Amino acid sequence: MALPPQTLGSFAVAADVFTMLVLLASWLTAVPAIYKSREVGRRSPLPNIAAVLSCCVGLLYGCSRRDGLVIGVSVAGAVMQAGYVGVFVYFSPAWRLVLVQCAVATVTYAALICFYVFGLIDAGGLAYAAGACAWLVPTMIFYNVSNVWKDMSMECMPHVIVPVLSLVSTPLWIVYAYGGKELNNYVGLPNCLGLACALLQVGLHGYFWKRGREQTNIDERAPLLEGRSVDPAATDC
């Protein structure tokens, strides 16, 4: 059953708001930690470079359709994620590699603009491109799972507040994509993957939080056990 257009519009506005919160949370949690420690640690800039590319393609698509909601969230997302990448370039010892990755994303976007300007692709083609780029960000997060298990640490993953907010934003986009008369797979499918990615991250954060609590309890008991003197005769049965 299709939802009324006004209801779908409300879902779109709510999805935009929570997407902005996700982008803002990613900035506020990662950047202060990097600035304070003066190093990037095990963090990877690839998800954020992919996010900048995805937002820029979304901006081009929004302009072609004159969609104010898409334009607004795309501009804000591109600015915040580009700022994060800039901080990463400044503090990362592998900043040259990061610049190469940024150059690849820039060339890809420039080629897409040329294709659109010269009429090689239309708004429908931009929808395909925007959908493909939207797959990049959660795919990059899945790629980091191997590093999580290798290091037994969530340092290379976003702060837990980011996937928690994504658990709200992605279902809103899914309802918006599939709640109308026409199914919008370009929006719906990437957000389905994003929802799975958010669930995985929350699960991993919960697992390592519990593991850390158990380790803390063991560490707190250890000095007491080590400091206790045991009479050998008392253990003689």
Per-residue pLDDT of the chain (237 residues; tens, 9 = 90+): 678 888 888 888 898 889 889 888 888 888 888 888 888 888 888 888 988 998 999 899 888 888 787 888 889 889 988 998 999 899 988 889 999 999 999 999 999 999 998 888 887 888 888 888 888 888 888 778 888 888 888 888 888 999 999 999 999 999 988 988 878 887 888 899 999 999 999 999 999 888 877 765 554 444 443 444 445 444 444
CA distance 190 to 128: 11
The Cα 211–Cα 201 span in angstroms is 15
Q: Residues with Cβ < 8 Å from 22, sequence gap 6 or more?
A: 162, 165, 166, 169
CA dist 125 and 88 (Å) reads 32
Contacts of 158 (CB under 8 A, 6+ apart): 26, 29, 30, 47, 141, 201
Give the pLDDT score at 218: 52
Closest CA to 15 of 137, 172, 162: 172
Q: What is the pLDDT of residue 153?
A: 82
Cβ distance 190 to 169 under 8 Å?
no
CA-CA distance, 204 to 153, in Å (whole number)?
A: 9
Whole-prediction pTM = 0.79
Residue 62 CA: distances (Å) to CA of 72, 107, 148: 9, 20, 36
Q: Which residue has the tokens 């290091």?
A: 151
Q: What is the pLDDT of residue 235?
A: 46
Spatial separation of the C-alpha atoms in residues 196 and 167, rounded to whole Å: 9
Residue 196 pLDDT: 93
